[in-house]
A and B are shown apart, each in its own frame.
Chain A
Amino acid sequence: MNIFYLLIGVSLFAALIFLAAFIWAVRNGQFDDQETPARRILFDDDVIEEKEADTRIE
């Protein structure tokens, strides 16, 4: 039943891609900004303030 080889192989392949993506993400400081995007949507009707929010640079 070589289905199992295919299955395990592809599963591991997929899992490794995501593991790599995750490690890369952490190392690159993916989770540094957890506040701004969540808060900004609350002001999306406010045209004037939006200008400030968008030009924010880390």
Chain B
Amino acid sequence: MENQKFYYDNKIVKLFILATIIWGVVAVLVGVLIAMQLAFPAFNFGLEYTSFGRVRPIHTNAVIFAFVGNAIFAGVYYSMQKLLKARMFSDVLSKVHFWGWQLIIVLAAVTFALGITTSKEYAELEWPIDILVAVIWVVFGWNMIGTIVKRRVQHIYAAIWWYLATFLGIAILHIVNSFELPISLFKSYSIYAGAQDAVVQWWYGHNAVAFFLTTPFLGLMYYFLPKAANRPIYSYRLSIIHFWSLIFLYMWAGPHHLLYQALPEWVQALGVTFSIMLIAPSWGGMINGLLTLRGAWDRVRDSAALKFLVVAVTAYGLSTFEGPMMSLRNVNMITHFTDWTIAHTHIAGMAWNGGIVFGMLYFLVPKLFRTKIYSEKLANAHFWIATLSILVYAIPLYWSAVTQWLMLKEYTPEGFLAYPIFLETLTQILPMYTLRIISGVMFLTGFLLMVYNMFKTMAAGEMEANEASEAPALVLQGARNPVKETVHRWMERRAVRFSIWVFVALFIGGAVQIIPMVFIKSNVPTIAAVTPYTPLELEGRDIYIKEGCYTCHSQQIRPFRWETDRYGEYSKIGEFVYDHPYLWGSRRTGPDLARTGYVNGPMYKNAAWHYQHFMDPQAMNEKSIMPRYDWFARRKVNLDMTPAKIRAMQTLGVPYPEGFDEEAVDDLIWQAEQIAADLKNSGIDIEPTSHMVAMIAYLHKLGGDIETQATPIIEETPNTENHEAGE
């Protein structure tokens, strides 16, 4: 057959590589900054734009979507062209994808610094950027599927299935989790409330880990590990089996992020069960990766790229064992809300994702530029510094987690909490936070060595922007199938049909969890005493979201004696029915705030205390690491937006009286003046419409609706038929 001449698009690969390197430095740098803020609050610089609550989402999003995201695209655009013997489907789509994605990253950084956020972790982007993400993601998928359609190789290699699963998985997750009701260009409310919002968010959060940090990386592993070792993958059959089982099982495990929290028991049990089952397909990938190096370990000794890949695959195995263990309830009790989770994510992020990216770059850049790596020694130095930094990160934080947990649950012989002040437990682990800074600086140093090495390599070599190649055109076998053709081959030949299969697998997993939670009311018992937020409290809540308070403070008291003694009655599902979005948090760097409004509870503080504390936390508690929020006293609530907020809440089913939006501002001012008068009695002069007053109103609302012990809680089930059916 006649060979067709075509050209690989190497330029787009190079662009994504450059973006990976540049954003990677930024992401790690910001990580070091927030590590410094956690150990020394002075590094918040007293500015709202640089306070921890706003910078932390910049770090997480920069790592996941900027550094890892661009690395995925670089690897996908390179390997797909080679595997399919075809140029990417459309140069225009490639360019739109590249520049669109970089625009999203810049918009994300700017909006987060300005406090424009939805507060849902790893999905903090506000609605206009969400739409942009969806559009660019479709461009990526279109380009990818288009390339598959016009390929010159019949067989679709394992790596590409993982890329397809990535595209479909993220598309579904992003869309379902981003259902929000806009009230302005920069503000929206999640359409889900409370426990339902939490389930949707962690279905997303967990599966973003699956379909952004796992499936594309397994794809990259299946291409770059065999290429770098020059050996075929250990078991092609295993790659097929663990692909299908992994994409099916992952969708169900999300609720393990919400164990012991205000969530139906069966949802938690489901999450735990599937998390344990996930060990099998995950380890399938690890085993397949490591066994590929059978008889080639001597090459690992000589190649920094292979060293990184080996550490990455090993860390993948460790993390995917640790994850299921952390979703066991008795382990989760320790790991949740402590630094264990932070250590877990960083082993995965620095070693698994980082390792694959570094391994890929050390292999790919010299190949692309037709030269040798500038310095193998520097690459090895990078490897050892990076690997050590991961240990310096994880071990202190594991230590910190266990220490803090033991202190929090310690009782005196008389039956009182041994450390009733949360801050004592935090002060104890602060030395570990200093070690974390050292780890961050080490990782950054290694990274910068790589940047230098890469630019030197690029300068020494020469890249062919359009690399010529030839291959015969693909003869569509369509009707003339060989008799013994396999199902997988049949599906692989038809990318669209294959996509549908993946979609079906993903959709069933997701729908089963979300549809019942949203549509079957019996899951969310409403408590008669719980009332909607007043306009002032709602404004305060929006400030809480804007400042990222949830990055350090949870609003979820688990049913342990050492939590109820410290914070008050454990949290009930019905208390969160008006929470759009939910604000349960995931890490307690500060104490839980679920019951700061319960006057007779241990967490209640008066208005004057809150004022002083926001103005200067260190003046109240010398060892506190909370940033100061003195701009709360200067900033004014935008009253023009208040009626729209009330109307949006009404649309979402919050039972404000008809026409309340028009009275909202009056109601807000009336309540604000009361708080301002209270502060005046303590000798504090403050504008009633300041952020400070709204925040105090919100904190005095939290958890105060329930009269603990005094009266029994009435749990109403609006739809009694549901109950009868099950009994």
Q: Tell me the A residues contacting B by CB distance below 8 Å.
A: 1-7, 10-11, 13-14, 17-18, 21, 24-25, 28-42, 44-45, 47, 50-51, 54-55, 57-58
How far apart sit A3 and B444, CA to CA, in the bound complex (Å)?
A: 49
B227, B230, B232 pick with most chain A CB within 10 angstroms: B232
State whether the Cβ of B652 lies closer than 8 Å to any Cβ in chain A.
no
Whether B512 lies near A18 (C-beta < 8 A) is no
Which residues does chain B contribute within 8 Å of A38, judged by CB atoms? 158, 226, 232-233, 236
- Once the chains bind, are A45 and B470 in contact (CB under 8 Å)? no
- In the complex, the chain A residue whose C-beta lies closest to that of B245 is A18
With contacts A38-B232, A41-B157, A42-B232 known, is A3 near B523, CB below 8 A?
A: yes
CA distance A39 to B237 in the complex (A): 13
Instruction: Please indicate the chain A residues that have their CB under 8 angstroms from the CB of B725 in the complex.
Output: 1-2, 5
**Interchain CA distance A10-B723 in the complex, whole Å:** 20
The smallest C-beta distance from B164 to any residue of chain A, in angstroms, reads: 16
Q: A7-B266, A34-B235, A51-B1 are in contact. List 18 more A-B contacts (CB 8 A).
A: A1-B722, A3-B516, A6-B512, A10-B511, A14-B508, A18-B505, A30-B489, A31-B240, A32-B484, A34-B237, A38-B158, A38-B233, A44-B83, A47-B3, A51-B3, A51-B472, A54-B153, A58-B482
B436 within 8 A of A: no
Contact between B223 and A41, CB atoms less than 8 A apart = yes
Q: Which of B83, B470, B482 contacts A41 (CB 8 A)?
A: B83
- Report Cα–Cα, A55/B264, bound state, in Å: 56
For the complex formed, measure the closest distance between the CB of A43 and the CB atoms of chain B, giving whole angstroms: 10
Give A48 Cβ to nearest chain B Cβ, in Å.
Answer: 9
For the complex, what is the distance from the CA of A38 to the CA of B231, rounded to whole Å? 9
The complex places the Cα of A18 from the Cα of B223 at a distance, in Å, of 26
For residue B41, give the distance in angstroms from its CB to the closest CB of chain A: 46
Q: Are A1 and B723 in contact (CB under 8 A)?
A: yes
* Bound complex: CA A32 to CA B154 (Å): 16
Q: Does B710 contact A (CB under 8 A)?
A: no
Chain A, residue nearest B267 (CB): A3
B428 contacts A by Cβ under 8 Å: no
Contact B486 A6 (CB under 8 A): no
Q: Which one of A14, A25, A29 has the greatest number of beta carbons of chain B within 10 Å?
A: A14
Measured CB to CB, the closest approach of chain A to B128, in angstroms, equals: 35
Complex: how many Å from CA A50 to CA B469? 11
- Across the interface, do A25 and B488 meet the contact criterion of CB distance under 8 Å? yes
Expressed in whole angstroms, the Cα–Cα distance for A40 and B244 within the complex equals 22
Cα-based distance from A6 to B425 in the complex (angstroms): 44
A37 and B235 CA atoms in complex are apart in Å by 11
In the complex, what residues of B have CB within 8 A of residue A39's CB? 232
Kindly state the separation between the CA atoms of A7 and B471 in the bound complex, as whole angstroms.
49
Nearest residue (CB) in A for B154 is A54
Q: Which residues of B contact A25 (CB under 8 A)?
A: 486-488
B29 CB to closest chain A CB (Å) equals 36
The answer to whether A47 and B471 touch across the interface, beta carbons within 8 angstroms, is: yes
Query: Are the C-beta atoms of B83 and A14 separated by less than 8 Å?
Result: no
Nearest chain A CB to B334's CB is how many angstroms away? 29
List 24 A-B residue pairs with CB atoms under 8 Å apart, sorted by A's residue number.
A1-B723, A2-B520, A2-B726, A3-B520, A3-B522, A13-B508, A14-B508, A18-B248, A30-B486, A31-B237, A34-B237, A37-B157, A38-B158, A38-B232, A41-B82, A41-B157, A42-B232, A50-B85, A51-B1, A51-B471, A54-B152, A54-B154, A55-B472, A58-B484
Q: What chain B residues lie within 8 Å of A42 (beta carbons)?
A: 226-227, 230-232
B244 pairs with A41, CB closer than 8 A: no
The DSSP consensus for interface residues of chain B is helix
- The residue that B508 contacts in the complex, of A10, A29, A47, with Cβ under 8 A, is A10
> How many B residues, CB 8 Å from partner?
54
Whether B559 sits at the interface, judged by CB under 8 Å, is: no
1/0 contact string of B179-222 vs chain A (CB within 8 Å): 00000000000000000000000000000000000000000000
Compute how far the CA of A1 lies from the CA of B517 in the bound complex, rounded to whole angstroms. Answer: 12
Tell whether, in the assembled complex, residue B227 and residue A24 are in contact, meaning their CB atoms are under 8 Å apart: no
- Residue from the list A4, A14, A24, A37 in contact with B158, Cβ < 8 A: A37
Contacts A14-B248, A47-B471, A50-B471 given; indicate if A7 touches B270 (C-beta within 8 A): yes
**Which partner residue on chain B sits nearest A17 by CB separation?**
B504
> Once the chains bind, are B232 and A6 in contact (CB under 8 Å)?
no
User: CB < 8 Å: which of B1, B482, B486, B488 contacts A57?
Assistant: B482
Within 8 A of A (CB), among B138-157: 152-155, 157
Q: Which residue of A has the minimal Cβ distance to B235? A: A34
B485 at the interface (CB under 8 A from A): yes
Restricting to B470-502, which residues have a CB under 8 Å from any CB of A?
Answer: 470-472, 482, 484-489
Give the complex CA separation of A55 and B486 in angstroms: 17
By Cβ-Cβ distance, the 8 closest A-B pairs, closest first, are: A1-B726, A38-B232, A30-B486, A14-B508, A34-B236, A3-B516, A2-B725, A38-B236
A34 to B508, CA, bound (A): 30
Residue of B nearest to A24 (CB): B487
Which residues of chain B have C-beta atoms less than 8 A from A57's C-beta? 482
Contact between chains at A30 and B469 (CB < 8 Å): no
Q: Report A3 CB to chain B, min CB distance, Å.
A: 4
- CB contacts (< 8 Å) of B82 on chain A: these are 41, 44-45
Inter-chain contacts of A44 with B (CB < 8 A)? 82-83, 85
A1 to chain B: closest residue by CB:
B726
Give Cα A18 to B501, complex, Å: 10
Choose one: B227, B236, B508; the contact of A37 (CB below 8 Å).
Answer: B236
Residues of chain A within 8 A of B248, CB atoms compared = 14, 18
Complex: chain A residue closest to B1, CB-CB? A55
Q: A58 to nearest B CB, angstroms? A: 6
Check B512–A29 contact: CB distance below 8 A: no
Does residue B509 face the partner (Cβ distance < 8 Å to A)?
A: yes
Contacts of A37 on B, CB cut-off 8 Å?
155, 157-158, 236
Chain A residue numbers with a CB within 8 Å of B485 are 28
Are the CB atoms of A35 and B266 closer together than 8 Å? no
Instruction: Report yes or no: A4 in contact with B726, Cβ–Cβ below 8 A.
Output: yes
CA distance A5 to B1 in the complex (A): 57
